[in-house]
Amino acid sequence: MWKTTSLLILSLTVSSIPFNAVYANKSSKPATQVGIASYYGHRFHGRMTANGERFNKEELSAAHRSYPFGTLLRVTNLDNQKSTLVRINDRGPYIKGRIIDLSHRAARELSFVDEGITRVKLEVIELGSDDT
């Protein structure tokens, strides 16, 4: 009887851990990120993004490796303190050391088109609901 009760308590405790971890991740706001941003080249205009939309270089959109699609971020250029809001609709960037790829319009608003890359701070305004 003791073994059965102990196993039941142990299995209930262990089985609740993944649920609690997933629930906490969904309900808590991710930390602010700081790193290097780049922007999509003109050749990507009109191509499909990872969420199935056509990329439009004139929209305020971005690619991030892990934020859910639809997440709204404030991106601040740490060199000049300019900021803009973008919506995550793609995955990437796939270059080591970069944390976000921005649309051409977002890069213009942050004033780093000539440089190609810049240091940015990402702040979640609203977490998207689509994890795919």
Q: What is the CATH number of the domain that holds 48?
A: 2.40.40.10
Write down the pLDDT at residue 126.
96
* pLDDT at residue 42, as a whole number: 87
**Residue 5 within a domain:** no
Mean pLDDT by 10 residues, the chain (132 residues): 48 41 44 94 91 96 97 98 98 96 98 98 93 54
Separation between Cα atoms, residue 132 and residue 119, nearest integer Å: 27
Number of helices (H), then strands (E), in the chain: 2, 6
- Entry field: residues in the chain: 132
- Give the count of domains, the chain: 1
pLDDT at 112: 98
Q: What's the pLDDT score for residue 3?
A: 53
Domain that holds residue 46: 30-126
